Each structure stands twice: as structure tokens, then as C-alpha cells.
């Protein structure tokens, strides 16, 4: 038995990939371990989306070097260090140059080849093995059949890569072109997750609503149709999907929200900015009004839909007036939750070369005004839940004695008094108190 420690950075796709790497390494005798200190293999599954995320990798590698040397000197054990994910893809050679103690570098499309890479390693020669190909073969066809237990709520990757080329974003370069798994493969994995105890499945993709996988009828199915099909799978109680692009929000998907009870009333639909000039410079290919029109149609279909979004402030050329348009859009839409970021120059993306970069201090000011508005909307949304009844999926043991945590249909974290026997159950609760980032509830009993 060998100990495997994986540290995951960034998005949910990386969380899923880390689980799949665990599955890939299981036949070689690797079992998940909670700490790097005495691990035989450490994998950093990295994120390249913003500069800060990328930098973390090199500081973590510095710490791991010491652990590796200590393991070798003190107990004569070799600790293998692997860098996976999007930094691996973007900076493969650079990583082994700056951190020659790294044994393997594997890109997001090649991790099914990890076992083969391990055989090429020669610890004595201190070589490193790099695989950042976009392979001909599709990794999903080479991943093990076995899916380890994932918990009551699990991710399932259905689509990967992106052809949208937003001017700020590295994803089309690190994850490659859009690719959709077949309906059969997705259903098969969903059944395995259910058999292992999962009740809520979040379908993942960098551009998940661009899904166009081959259906059992040989035709390409969209995400709406896939969701209808998955809702029929025995044991799939709840469905979600993330992350979406407004241009791919088609009628079938909008009506899926109205027609599929298992599809939760929550949607993450990033807009990034509210100014048409900036949206165009970002290459988003829609206007603010077109985005709002989609939101209105979604709310016509599902009035209680909770909306979430992503925002970038300080994109090159963004003026005060442009930023005011973003605040106006946020005001008009009203979000239940949102993520907002300062624009970060990413090497190789079109916007990184723009000359009209925005001052860091201006970015910081805009970010805090935007976050203030988004926070107040989130609090208002949560407050509106007080006194209401909701079905909560019990996911984890809470931090305090006798406390459990779960997830509301609207993606809120919910804390309540309960016990471990309730894990994986969907229980009716009354929301007693709203906070900024969570709710407190009490279980409703039938007697
Ligand atoms: N700078 C800041 N934020 C970015 N995002 C993507 N690229 C950048 C960048 N260069 C944000 C977008 C995206 C989310 C995942 O990360 O808002 O939706
Ligand atoms: Fe990046 Fe735009 Fe593709 Fe989203 S749609 S992954 S922001 S390029």
C-alpha cells in the first residue's frame, strides 16, 4: 500500500480530476492520504486562471522539496512529486527547470497516462517525466471503470475545454478544444455514483451548456436533453450543472429548469461585465441587454430561480462609466451569490497585451464596491429564506458537536442539529436564521 496525497486548487473540474487521478492510481496500490508529510506520492492539481493561483504552486513546491529531502535523508523513502492541472499544461518545462525535484508533470488531458509515466521514472537518474499532450485518445475512454465513493453530492464531468476564447481567459489554451462525452458514458458514470451512495450530481464542464454529446440515437444531444435523461436514472435525486455561457442557454435548457423537478433552482451564469463596450472587448459576443433577456426568460420559467455569476473588474480599458454599467446590471438581475475578481493578465491571452491596463488601486476600489453590492444581495436572498421550509441534502458532519451540514436547493450551506445516521438523506427543514454565507435550520419531523 502506498500513500497518495492530492492537493487541489481552483475549480470543480479540478476536484473531479483529482478524484479520477485517485481512481487511476488505485490499481497501483495507492490509497488516499490526508497529509503530504509521509506520503509516497504528492500531486498538486493546479489552477492557472489568475496570477495568484499560479504563484501558489511554486511556493508549495518549495515546501515539498524540504519534505522530499527529509523523507530521503531520514527514512530513505522516496516521495514522488507530481504537478498536474492547468499550470502543468501551461508551464510544463518551466516547472521542471525551476523545481527540478518535481518528478512528473501531467496536463489535464493526459492524467489517464499516469501509470505509464510512473514506469518511466528512474529515481536514481532524477529524471522528470512530462506529458502535456492533447492526446489523440480521449482520456475518458481510458479511465478505470471503478469509481470510488464520492459522498452524497458528487461531480460528473460531461464536457471539457472551450472554443469561446474570451480575451482574458487561459482555459481554451490549458484545457483545449470543446469536447463532450457520450450520453451513454455519462449515464454509466451516474449509475456508478448512485450505486456508491451519491444522490446529487453536478454535471461539470468549462462550458457545460455547450454540451453536444452523442445520444443513443446517434444524434448529438444538448444539455437539456441530457438532464431529462439523467433525471430518469433511478436514485438520481438532484441535478445541477456548471459553468455556463449565456450564448448556449437554449430553449430546451431553459424549459428543463421548469420541467425537471430534480434540476435544482440554481444557476451559475457568468456575465463578467455590464458594459457593452467591455463585453465586446472581452469577446463575450452578447450585450448586457441580451443577458438580461435570458435571465428574464429563465425567471418566467422558474420564478424562484437563484442566480449566481462571475464578474471581472478592471478589464483593460474599463472606465468608471463602464464599471457603473456593471453595478447597474447587478442591480437589475439581483444575484443570490456571485464571484468577483480583479482582472489578472494571463500570458498568451489577447487582453494581456493590451496597453490600456487599469491601475491596481482602481481595480481594488471597484472590486470592493461591487462586492459590497453583491454581498448585500446575497444577504437579502438568504434573509428571504428565513421561516421557509426546504429539503436539505445532508452532506457532512459539522464543525461542532451534534452539528451536521447540508446543501439547500439554492446551493446555500445549511447547518443544523443532527447525527451521522442522516448522511445522504434529503430532509425537510425550516430555516431559522440567515447569515451572509450560510443558513441555520431545524429538521421538521412528521409527528
Ligand atoms: N482575470 C480575472 N478573472 C478571470 N477569470 C477568468 N480569467 C480571468 C482573468 N484573467 C474569472 C472569470 C471566470 C472565472 C472562472 O474566473 O470570471 O468566469
Ligand atoms: Fe474562459 Fe470564456 Fe471559455 Fe469561460 S467561456 S472558459 S471564461 S474562454
The rounded Å distance from CA 400 to ligand 2 centre is: 39
The β-bridge relationship of strands 403-407 and 389-397 is antiparallel
Domain of 403: which CATH number? Answer: 2.40.50.140
Query: pLDDT tens digits for the chain (447 residues)?
Result: 999 999 999 999 999 999 999 999 999 999 999 999 999 999 999 999 999 888 899 999 999 999 999 999 988 888 999 999 999 999 999 999 999 999 999 999 999 999 999 998 876 666 789 999 888 888 888 888 888 778 999 999 999 999 999 999 999 999 999 999 999 999 999 999 999 999 999 999 999 999 999 999 999 999 999 999 999 999 999 999 999 999 999 999 999 999 999 999 999 999 999 999 999 999 999 999 999 999 999 999 999 999 999 999 999 999 999 999 999 999 999 999 999 999 999 999 999 999 999 999 999 999 999 999 999 999 999 999 999 999 999 999 999 999 999 999 999 999 999 999 999 999 999 999 999 999 999 999 876
Q: Is the CB of 310 under 6 A from ligand 1?
A: yes
Residues 78 and 213 reside in one and the same domain: no
Residues 321 and 436 reside in one and the same domain: no
Residues 156 and 110 reside in one and the same domain: no
Half-sphere exposure of 442 (CA within 13 A, CB side): 6
Residue 358 sits in which domain range?
139-383
Count structural domains, the chain. 3
Which of 47, 52, 168, 338 has the most ligand 1 atoms within 8 A of CB, as the residue to mutate? 168
Residues 276 and 195 reside in one and the same domain: yes
**Cβ-based neighbours of 92, under 8 Å, separated by 6 or more:** 105, 107, 130, 132
The rounded Å distance from CA 243 to ligand 2 centre is: 9
Q: Is the CB of 166 under 6 A from ligand 2?
A: yes
**Cβ-based neighbours of 201, under 8 Å, separated by 6 or more:** 153, 154, 155, 156, 190, 193, 230, 236, 238, 239, 240
Q: Is the CB of 284 under 6 A from ligand 1?
A: no
Burial 300-321 (b: 16+ CB within 10 A, else e): eebeebbbbbebbbbbbbbeee
- pLDDT tens digits, one per residue of 217-275: 999 999 999 999 999 999 999 999 999 999 999 999 999 999 999 999 999 999 999 99
pTM to 2 decimal places: 0.95
Q: What is the pLDDT at residue 133?
A: 87
Cα 100 to Cα 65, 76, 104, 120, 212: the distances in Å are 9, 19, 10, 16, 41
Residues 341 and 259 reside in one and the same domain: yes
Tell me the C-alpha distance between 174 and 158, whole Å. Answer: 17
Ligand 1 atom with the shortest distance to the CA of 346: 10
Q: Is the CB of 86 under 6 A from ligand 1?
A: no
Please give the distance of CA 379 from its chain centroid, rounded to a whole number: 23
**Cβ-based neighbours of 36, under 8 Å, separated by 6 or more:** 5, 7, 42, 64, 67, 79
Measured in degrees and rounded to the nearest 5, phi and psi for residue 412 equal -80, 145
Residues 156 and 190 reside in one and the same domain: yes
The β-bridge relationship of strands 266-268 and 306-313 is parallel
Tell me the C-alpha distance between 2 and 40, whole Å. Answer: 6
Burial of 252 (0-12, 13-18, 19+ CB in 10 A): middle
Share of the chain above pLDDT 70, in %: 99
Residues 289 and 371 reside in one and the same domain: yes
CA torsion 110→112→113→115, rounded to 10°? Answer: 150
Residues 174 and 49 reside in one and the same domain: no
> Which ligand number lies closest to the CA of residue 269?
1
Residues 157 and 305 reside in one and the same domain: yes
Tell me the C-alpha distance between 196 and 207, whole Å. Answer: 27
Q: Is the CB of 315 under 6 A from ligand 1?
A: no
- Point out the domain boundary residue: 383, 408, 423: 383
Q: Is the CB of 207 under 6 A from ligand 2?
A: yes
Strand order in the sheet with 238-242: 153-157, 200-204, 238-242
Q: What is the pLDDT at residue 76?
A: 85
Residues 318 and 397 reside in one and the same domain: no
Tell me the C-alpha distance between 374 and 337, whole Å. Answer: 7
Q: Is the CB of 164 under 6 A from ligand 2?
A: yes
> Can you name the residues that pair with 202 across neighbouring β-strands?
155, 240
Q: What is the DSSP string of 260-309?
A: -TTB-SEEE---B-S-HHHHHHTT--S-HHHHHHHHHHHHHH-TT-EEEE
Q: What is the pLDDT at residue 148?
A: 79
Strand order in the sheet with 129-131: 30-32, 2-8, 41-46, 80-84, 104-106, 129-131
Domain of 122: which CATH number? Answer: 3.40.50.12160
Domain of 279: which CATH number? Answer: 3.80.30.20
- Point out the domain boundary residue: 109, 131, 153: 131
- Point out the domain boundary residue: 131, 152, 169: 131
Among protein residues, the one with the nearest Cα to ligand 1's atom 12 is: 310
- E strand or H helix at 183: helix 183-195
- E strand or H helix at 83: strand 80-84
Ligand 2 atom with the shortest distance to the CA of 163: 3
Q: Is the CB of 285 under 6 A from ligand 2?
A: no
Residues 315 and 419 reside in one and the same domain: no
Q: Is the peptide bond before 243 cis (omega within 30 degrees of 0)?
A: yes
Q: What is the pLDDT at residue 355?
A: 95
Residues 83 and 144 reside in one and the same domain: no
Q: Is the CB of 245 under 6 A from ligand 2?
A: yes
Q: Is the CB of 162 under 6 A from ligand 2?
A: yes
The rounded Å distance from CA 239 to ligand 2 centre is: 22
Mind spelling out the 3-state secondary structure of 125-149? Answer: HCCCEEECCCCCCCHHHCCCCCCCC
Amino acid at each position: 500500500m502506498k500513500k497518495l496525497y492530492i492537493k487541489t486548487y481552483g475549480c470543480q473540474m479540478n476536484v473531479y480530476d483529482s478524484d479520477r487521478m485517485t481512481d487511476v492510481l488505485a490499481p497501483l496500490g495507492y490509497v488516499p492520504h490526508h497529509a503530504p508529510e509521509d506520503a509516497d506520492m504528492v500531486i498538486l492539481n493546479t489552477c492557472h486562471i489568475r496570477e495568484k493561483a499560479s504563484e501558489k504552486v511554486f511556493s508549495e513546491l518549495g515546501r515539498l522539496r524540504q519534505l522530499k529531502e527529509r523523507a530521503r535523508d531520514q527514512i530513505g523513502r522516496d516521495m514522488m512529486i507530481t504537478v498536474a492541472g492547468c499550470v502543468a499544461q501551461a508551464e510544463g518545462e518551466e516547472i521542471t527547470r525551476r523545481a527540478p525535484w518535481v518528478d512528473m508533470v501531467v496536463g489535464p488531458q493526459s492524467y489517464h497516462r499516469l501509470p505509464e509515466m510512473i514506469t518511466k521514472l528512474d529515481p536514481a537518474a532524477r529524471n522528470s517525466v512530462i506529458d502535456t499532450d492533447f492526446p489523440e485518445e480521449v482520456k475518458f475512454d481510458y479511465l478505470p471503470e471503478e469509481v470510488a465513493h464520492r459522498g452524497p453530492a458528487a461531480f460528473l464531468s460531461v464536457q471539457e475545454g472551450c472554443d469561446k476564447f474570451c480575451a482574458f481567459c487561459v482555459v481554451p489554451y490549458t484545457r483545449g478544444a470543446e469536447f463532450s462525452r457520450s450520453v451513454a458514458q455519462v449515464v454509466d458514470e451516474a449509475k456508478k455514483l448512485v450505486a456508491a451512495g451519491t444522490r446529487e450530481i453536478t454535471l461539470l464542464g468549462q462550458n457545460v451548456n455547450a454540451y453536444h454529446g452523442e445520444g443513443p440515437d446517434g444524434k448529438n444531444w444538448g444539455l437539456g436533453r441530457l438532464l431529462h435523461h439523467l433525471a430518469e436514472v433511478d436514485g438520481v435525486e438532484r441535478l445541477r450543472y456548471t459553468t455556463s455561457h449565456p450564448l448556449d442557454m437554449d430553449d430546451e435548457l431553459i424549459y428543463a429548469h421548469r420541467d425537471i423537478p430534480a434540476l435544482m433552482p440554481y444557476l451559475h451564469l457568468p456575465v463578467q461585465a455590464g458594459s457593452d463596450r467591455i463585453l465586446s472587448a472581452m469577446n463575450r459576443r452578447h450585450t448586457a441587454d441580451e443577458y438580461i433577456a435570458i435571465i428574464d426568460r429563465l425567471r418566467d420559467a422558474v420564478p424562484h430561480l437563484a442566480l449566481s455569476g462571475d464578474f471581472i473588474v478592471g478589464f483593460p480599458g474599463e472606465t468608471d462609466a463602464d464599471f457603473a454599467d456593471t453595478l447597474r446590471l447587478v442591480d437589475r438581475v439581483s444575484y443570490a451569490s456571485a464571484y468577483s475578481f480583479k482582472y489578472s493578465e494571463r500570458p498568451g491571452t489577447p487582453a494581456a497585451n493590451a496597453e490600456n491596463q487599469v491601475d491596481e488601486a482602481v481595480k481594488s476600489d471597484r472590486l470592493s464596491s461591487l462586492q459590497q453590492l453583491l454581498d448585500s444581495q446575497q444577504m437579502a436572498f438568504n434573509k428571504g429564506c428565513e421561516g421557509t421550509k426546504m429539503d436539505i441534502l445532508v452532506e457532512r458532519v459539522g464543525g461542532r458537536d451534534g452539528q451536521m451540514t447540508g446543501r439547500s436547493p439554492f446551493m446555500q450551506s445549511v447547518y443544523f442539529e443532527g447525527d451521522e445516521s442522516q448522511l445522504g438523506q434529503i430532509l425537510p427543514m425550516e430555516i431559522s436564521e440567515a447569515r451572509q454565507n450560510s443558513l441555520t435550520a431545524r429538521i421538521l419531523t412528521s409527528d
